[in-house]
Amino acid sequence: MRRTPAAIGSTLFFAAAPGTVAVLVPWLITHWEFQDPLAGWAMVPLRIAGGLLALAGLSFLVRAFVRFVAEGFGTPMPLAPPEKLVVGGVYRYVRNPMYVSILAAIIGQALLFGDPRLLLYFVIVAVPVVSFVRWYEEPHLRRTFGADYEEYVRTVPGWWPRISR
pLDDT tens digits along 23-45? 999 999 999 999 887 767 778 99
> What is the C-alpha separation between 149 and 95, in angstroms, rounded?
10
Mean pLDDT of 5-20: 88
Residue 77, pLDDT score: 81
Compute the mean pLDDT over every residue in the chain, rounded to the nearest whole number: 92
The sign of the torsion formed by the CA atoms of 24, 28, 29, 32 equals positive
Tell me, yes or no, whether 130 lies in a domain. yes
Residue 37, pLDDT score: 77
Give per-residue pLDDT as tens, 46-98: 999 999 999 999 999 999 999 988 898 888 887 778 889 999 999 999 999 99
Total domains, the chain: 1
* Residues spanned by the domain of 46: 3-155
Tell me, yes or no, whether 141 lies in a domain. yes
Tell me, yes or no, whether 150 lies in a domain. yes
Residue 3, pLDDT score: 73
Tell me, yes or no, whether 42 lies in a domain. yes
Among candidate residues 41, 36, 138, 134, the one with its CA nearest the CA of residue 85: 138
Residue pair 25/121 in contact (Cβ under 8 Å)? The answer is yes
Mean pLDDT of 98-127: 97
Confidence of residue 104 (pLDDT cuts 50, 70, 90): very high
Tell me, yes or no, whether 161 lies in a domain. no
Tell me, yes or no, whether 64 lies in a domain. yes
Tell me, yes or no, whether 39 lies in a domain. yes
Tell me, yes or no, whether 162 lies in a domain. no
Contacts of 6 (CB under 8 A, 6+ apart): 68, 69, 72, 73, 74, 75, 80
Residue pair 134/70 in contact (Cβ under 8 Å)? The answer is no
